[in-house]
Amino acid sequence: MNMTLIQKYVRDEKIVPAALTGLLLTASFPEAGFSGLACVALVPLLAAVEGASPGKSFRVGFMAGLIHFLSLLYWVVHSMQVYGNLGPAVSAAILFLLAAYLACYPGLFAMLAASLPKNRFSGLFLIPAFWVACEYARFRVMAGFPWEFLGCSQYQNLAFIQIADLFGVYGVSFWIVFSNACVWMIFGFFSFKNARAKTISRARAAGALGLLFAASAAVFSYGKWRMISVDALMASAPKKTVAFVQGNIPQEKKWDPNFSSQIIQKYLDLSLSVQDREPDLVVWPETATPFYFLQERRRTPKLLAGLAGMDADFVIGSPQGRRTAAGVEYLNSAYLLSGKGKVFGRYDKSRLVPYGEYIPLKRFMPFLGKIVAQAGDFVPGPVGRTLEWKESRVGIQICYEIIFPDISRLMAQNGAGLLINITNDAWFGKTSAARQHFSMAVLRAVENRRAVVRAANTGISAFIDPVGRITGETGLFKEAAIAAAMPVYEGETFYTRRGDLFALACVFVSLFFVLMKRLRRAIKGAESENKRKKESRRRQNVHGTQTGP
């Protein structure tokens, strides 16, 4: 009996297609990396919510999102257990709460998609607009968490991500969901044996297939053309030889004073190993110095003495503290300085990691401050600040700032000819999180046509050119120091100039659709009410006539 009830629940709530969509979505991202699955991952969900009520369609979409984010972000448990000193139950609870929040967006998408008739071509364009609107909301609502938007799954398919210089990562997501919608419509033609039960005609299925090929061909052709044109543009751009250093410092040793001298010496030795390439700039990872650089009088001079023998400039990550009237404030910073010790500028991280660098809602829930032992009270710096370097400017993004499209875009607007991403991904261990984090940097390069230099403490470090090609990629938990010539380009793409215009248009279309849907429902309800009242009055008149004198 209980098994029968469970089977009925699974069938009625469409658990199987929801789970299939969730798992297919995750499989399209690193480490699995079957990127082609993204183009069909939503088909089971779209089929499951077809004609469903708003409540049911939301639940099915929520379940798909929950399974997707639980399987995509599983590494949160590892980070919380190993570095947050939390038990398995608490770590799993944190992951579940995060996944449940993020799952609300696929739930909202499913609710909107379910209200569309399957046999209209307008749905092929509205469905991806709904998805992009939900991604944009995930980016903007609360602190924002734009981790692995659907378009990022294609980071290795260079021809298909070049449209990001027009529409951002949202344009790539739109194309992927458009492909899903076309497959869904074609699937509708073949899904019934009885021809009378078909909701999709042969002509509409053929039209969807034609649109799928036409859209994919257009995206691919634009991508190939832009790769050639951007390569030609970068060939004439000025070049700087940049090196990154991957120290591979274990997290448990990083802040131990007994190892600080060894850590600094390792970074100095690795920097010396690339001096034969005569680098203009050497990039160290996030918080590479295990002390407060320029503030500690004992260890700072030793570091500066080691740099003095090298004819290069440096980007060095270091924490900072400053006294204010309210007490001591801490910043996660990066210094741009010469080998002679002259400081050209400092960038302070503007997007802090929740529960890693600050405690959200601490005033209302002070007990949260005790959950993660490693959490510090950091304060954000100004957003989009760039630093002057030689004849250009550089934009430095620290850790997960690279996942936010607006920061890279604002830095490009502010004159950054080169983007630098320094990070410490040791927190992720050997999970897929490091690869996921890295994949998003590729989209930032393409969106703004900027070369990206990425230096990660334990990997993945690499160079990314303005069309998204990856060179010099390092493995995880290995020491490395690699130099390469990188173009310094200050031109602006359409996306750099106009930003999230396309995503905002999708939000507007979605809101307009909801408004018109409610308006039509209200008009229909008013018409039904008027008809009911007229019928009531007619019956009263007939009754009065029959009972008259």
349 is catalytic: yes
Query: Could you tell me the CA-to-CA distances from 426 to 91, 197, 302, 373, 442 in Å, in that order?
Result: 18, 56, 26, 16, 20
Contacting residues for 473 by C-beta, under 8 A, at least 6 apart: 460, 461, 462
Nearest partner of 311 among 274, 286, 343, judged by Cα = 274
Query: Could you tell me the CA-to-CA distances from 328 to 296, 299, 321, 377, 420 in Å, in that order?
Result: 15, 21, 6, 9, 28
Residues 179 and 35 sit within 8 Å (Cβ to Cβ): no
Token readout for 170 is 């949202």
The one catalytic residue in 134, 399, 401, 506 is 399
Q: Which helix (DSSP H) or strand (DSSP E) does residue 62 occupy?
A: helix 54-72
Sequential DSSP letters for 234-276:
HHTS-EEEEEEEE----HHHHT-GGGHHHHHHHHHHHHHTTGG
Amino acid occupying residue 233: L
CA-CA distance, 295 to 321, in Å (whole number)? 8
The one catalytic residue in 240, 349, 357, 506 is 349
The one catalytic residue in 14, 104, 240, 286 is 286
3-state secondary structure of 117: coil
Residues 263 and 318 sit within 8 Å (Cβ to Cβ): no
CA-CA distance, 64 to 26, in Å (whole number)? 11
CA-CA distance, 375 to 330, in Å (whole number)? 12
Provide the 10 A C-beta neighbour count for residue 251: 16
Residues 241 and 485 sit within 8 Å (Cβ to Cβ): yes
Residues 317 and 284 sit within 8 Å (Cβ to Cβ): yes
Residues 300 and 335 sit within 8 Å (Cβ to Cβ): no
Contacting residues for 453 by C-beta, under 8 A, at least 6 apart: 242, 244, 283, 418, 419, 420, 421, 463, 464, 486
198 is catalytic: no
3-state secondary structure of 312: coil
Nearest 5 degrees, angle CA 25-CA 31-CA 36? Answer: 45
The 3 state secondary structure assigned to 415-475 is CEEEEEEEECHHHHCCCCHHHHHHHHHHHHHHHHCCCEEEEECCCCCEEECCCCCEECCCC
399 is catalytic: yes
- Catalytic site residues? 286, 349, 399
